[in-house]
Amino acid sequence: MIRTLSRYPWAIVAVVVVLVHAGALRGDFHYDDDHSVVRNLSIRDLSMIPSYFVDPGAFSADPERAMYRPVLLTTYAVNRFLFGDEPWSFLLVNLLIHAANAALVTVLARPWVSTCEGGVAGLLFGLHPVATEPVNYVSARSDSLVAFCLLLTLYMAAHSERVRATVRGETLRLLPGAAAALLTKATAIAIAPLLVLMEWARGPVRSVRQSLLANAMVVGVSCLYLLVIWANGFLPRSLASQATAWSERWLTLGKAFAHYLRTLVIPIDLSPEPAFLLATNVSVTTAGCLALVVSLGAVAFGLLRRNIRAPWILGLWVCFTLVPVSLAPLNVLVNDRRLYLPLAAVAIGIVLAITLVRRPYWRRGLAACGLTLLAIMTVQRSAVWASDISLWSDAVSTAPMMPRAQLYLGDAHLAAAAGSRHAHLSAAAQAYENVHALAPRQRMLSAQAANGLALIESARGNALQARSILNKLVAQEPTYTDAWVNLGNAWYAAALDGEGQAALTSAMAAYDRALDLHPGRYEAHLNRGAVLQLTGRLDEAEGSYRTAMELAPEEPQVMMFLAGLSMLRARLSSDVTLRVGHLRSARAFFVGAADRGHAVARGGVRAVDDSLAAWGVE
């Protein structure tokens, strides 16, 4: 075993990582996966791939969540084409990417440590609980995929046999990996500084200017990428989306550093929404965190003066990969998966520290105990990601003061209430009330909670209360599409309960407003068609249904609405030939809905078959 590990440590590391994380394959889609994967029509057709490279809107089904990540989207599209759209298929690819990254860390550690010690570094990276989010959360593939591209590029740079006097040609081989990384996620902008670090690590001592010249092509590609994301509007929108003052960002960064350090050393209480608040002024906590940062920097500088480069290089690796994303205008102040790429440097650094232990059996014991503990924690953490309820229940238990965690817990219970209504509605209502009580800085969190409360009131049969909440909500947030769709649904339900033409008019107005804001919302088209059908405008209703089917071709409810319209036309038709034609259309739609898993569609097929048999048609 030791001999095998010595010859192929990267392969052993990859296999162990896959085995420990295998439980992730039983997971599900979570929060952002809904708009970027589940509802995203652009990843359902491989012919759309060229559009990913010019249109940030292809990233999401929701226009306001556009991002420029064409390589990531390409992996989603190919993933779905090859393996289907079940969660396990996407999670399998996530797991394989993570295993490959652990293998790359193993070989990247080789210049500093022995072969076996490199394997320990790869296992530290692969088994650390911080890595569970990029494995168990499909949308976190952006972090693992950009890490793969960066680590592969660094490996090629570290193992190239380039002649120091040459600049061109040899660096050309680094461009594909660097470009792929940049087109996966903007955090890859750190690729140029990391390559300069690798140049410096290889020695002899070179000036920064010489190192930059040696990687001039990568620096140029990075600058070109910045120009592209500025031209397509992604970078300006991102910079304009956050009004936080720069002083607060820097204070928060210092506080975040202490949080990340604790998470790496003691990886407990992990959460997609950690207990962390914006630092608005200099407090004892922020001052202590900043003092810690300065102290570690002074230690690294002292080691550098003694020509001990490794801690300095690894520390800069962490800074280059962590600081840009921490200063970026993002909604989440800290996120544990941002440690994914810095974790590679930390793993190598920990192994370097272990090598300072003189007695070999102590070194082996420390490594074995540490890796075993990390593996156990990773298996436990993966189990938390099994469902939305378990994930957000855990997040709320570790950080009850975070409104986003409360909101997503409410959403999870509300989604579960569709199958067992009374078991989850109360829990969802409590979570939404907690969001309001926390008074979040981001107004949309409160708006989403109010929207959830309206849905709960509708489910409980309190139609007037639901409409009251939604009317107040659209008055406060007139561009909130979900609220307009749900308001239309509430008025449509009122029309079915006998409130008449006025309710239908209000429903139509709400759906039209929703479609003005977001033309791609298939639910608005579908329910607008239902209103048109009730008012006898059958051709317009079919047009709305057809648009909904184009937007959501896999949604069985769309098929059921079209089947119902065809059945209505069959009943209204006096011509036998037309009636049979409508019945056959209805049957085709019922079959399509049944194939997509609709519970009562088979009953519709039987009803159509009975009608056709009554007319003597097979």
Q: What is the pLDDT of residues 513-571, one digit of tens each?
A: 999 998 888 889 999 999 999 888 999 999 999 999 988 888 889 999 998 898 888 88
Domain span at 62 = 12-384
- Environment class of 575 (CB within 10 Å of its CB; exposed 0-12, middle 13-18, buried 19+): exposed
Structural domain contains residue 582: yes
Residue 538: inside a domain: no
Peptide bond into 70 cis (omega under 30): no
pLDDT at 67 > cutoff 70:
yes
pLDDT digits (tens, 9 = 90+) for 528-540: 999 999 888 999 9
Confidence (pTM): 0.86
- pLDDT of res. 73: 95
pLDDT at 194: 81
Closest to 71 (Cα-Cα) out of 50, 89, 87, 98: 50
Are the C-beta atoms of residues 138 and 33 closer than 8 Å to each other?
yes
* Model pLDDT, residue 574: 82
Q: Is residue 255 part of a domain?
A: yes
Q: Is residue 98 part of a domain?
A: yes
Spatial distance between the Cα atoms of 527 and 533, rounded to a whole number of angstroms: 10
Instruction: Count the domains in the chain.
Output: 2
Residue 130's pLDDT band, with cuts at 50, 70 and 90, is very high
Domain boundary among 352, 384, 416: 384
Task: List Cα–Cα distances, 465 to 367, 457, 459, 493, in angstroms.
Answer: 60, 7, 11, 13
Q: Rounded to an integer, what distance in angstroms lies between the CA atom of residue 150 and that of residue 178?
A: 7
Q: Per-residue confidence at 166, pLDDT binned at 50, 70, 90? A: very low
**394 domain-assigned:** no
Answer with the one of 349, 384, 419 that is the final residue of a domain: 384
pLDDT, tens digit, 9 for 90 and up, residues 437-451: 988 888 889 999 999
Q: Per-residue DSSP letters for 73-84?
A: HHHHHHHHHHH-
Torsion angle (degrees, nearest 10) of CA 185, 186, 187, 192: 110
Q: Is residue 410 part of a domain?
A: no
Q: Give the C-alpha separation, 72 to 180, whole Å.
A: 9
Q: Please state, in angstroms and rounded to a whole number, the distance separating the CA atoms of residues 78 and 73.
A: 9
Higher pLDDT, 533 or 324: 533
Q: Which two tokens stand for residue 528?
A: 């607008």
- Token pair listed for 246: 């720069």
Is 485 inside a domain boundary?
A: no
Amino acid found at 253: L
Q: Is-contact 585 566, C-beta < 8 A?
A: yes
State the pLDDT at residue 162: 44
Q: What does 402-450 look like in DSSP terms, one character per residue?
A: -HHHHHHHHHHHHHHTTTSHHHHHHHHHHHHHHHHHH--SSHHHHHHHH
Cα dihedral 53, 56, 59, 63, rounded to 10, equals -150
> Given this model, what pLDDT does residue 167 score?
47
Q: Indicate whether 436 pLDDT > 70.
A: yes
What is the distance between the alpha carbons of residues 189 and 174, in angstroms, rounded to a whole number?
Answer: 14
pLDDT class of 204 with cuts at 50, 70, 90:
low
What is the percent of the chain where pLDDT is above 90?
Answer: 36
For residue range 277-296, list pLDDT tens digits in order.
776 666 666 666 666 666 66
The residue among 236 and 48 whose pLDDT is bigger is 48
Among candidate residues 384, 408, 442, the one where a domain is terminated: 384
| Per-residue model confidence (pLDDT) at position 195 | 80
How much is the pLDDT for 55? 87
In a domain? residue 447: no
